[in-house]
Amino acid sequence: MTEKLLTCVECPRGCQITVTLDDGKVVSVVGNFCPRGKVYAENECVNPKRVVTSTMNSDIGVLVPVRTDKPVLKANIFDVMKKINATTCKTPIKLGDVIIANIDGDANLIASKTVK
């Protein structure tokens, strides 16, 4: 049995979570204030994931803020960044519009702002 100390990053409360692992399997999660913390802690031990946020060039030269609509595998963050920086999006664009579908697994890249 091993214990792992984590800080949940899902919200600013930043709960200190203790995960007990048996042979790599999560057997208990303690310290999370809400259920999202449990999901985070379990993922963090097996397959850490993060939402990626950045900006993308647009056809009118204005930067468009973008983000993934779901967390992507931490190991793939830089691949996602490469795809973002290799793309120029078309305006007008509405907040929430999908710019790159399935940028990583089932996560899409969406616009986090309306640009007219």
Partner 1 sequence: MKNYDLVVVGGGPAGMAAAVAAFDAGVKNILIIERDTKLGGVLNQCVHNGFGLTRFKENLAGPEYAEKFSDEVEKRDIDVMLSTMVLEVGADKTVTAMNSEYGVFTLKPMAIILAMGCRERSKGALNIAGARSAGIYSAGTAQRYVNIEGYLPGKNVVILGSGDIGLIMARRMTLEGAKVHAVCEIMPFSSGLKRNIVQCLDDFGIPLYLNHTIVDIQGKERVTGVTIAEVNPVDKKPIKGTEIHFDCDTVLFSVGLIPENELTKNAGIPMSPRTKGAIVNQYRETDVEGIFACGNVLHVHDLVDFASEEAEIAGRSAYEYISGKLNKEKTVNLINGANIGYVLPQKITVPSGDVKVFFRVTNVFKNVTFKVKDGDEVVISKKKLTVAPGEMETIVLKSDLLSANKSGNITIELEAQND
User: Which positions touch ligand SF4 (CB under 6 A)?
Assistant: 8, 10-11, 13-15, 32-34, 36-37, 40
Amino acid code (one letter) for 4: K
DSSP sequence for 17-64: EEEEEETTEEEEEES-SSHHHHHHHHHHHHS-EE--EEEEEETTS--E
Is residue 88 a contact point for partner 1 (CB under 8 A)?
A: no
Q: Give the footprint of partner 1 on residues 13-52 (CB under 8 A).
A: 14, 16, 50-52
Amino acid code (one letter) for 68: T
108 burial level (CB within 10 Å; 0-12, 13-18, 19+): middle
Asked, as a colleague might, if the bond just before 92 is cis with ω within 30 of 0, I would say: yes
Q: Could you say which of 22, 28, 65, 101 contacts partner 1 (CB under 8 A)? A: 65
Distance from C-alpha of 2 to C-alpha of 91, rounded to nearest angstrom: 51
Q: How far is the CB of 63 from ligand SF4 (least distance, A)?
A: 30
Chosen from partner 1, ligand SF4, none, partner binding at 2 (C-beta under 5 to 8 Å by type): none
Is residue 83 a contact point for partner 1 (CB under 8 A)?
A: no
Residue 40 vs 100, nearer CB to ligand SF4: 40
Q: Could you say which of 43, 76, 91, 113 contacts partner 1 (CB under 8 A)? A: 113
Residue 65 vs 105, nearer CB to partner 1: 65
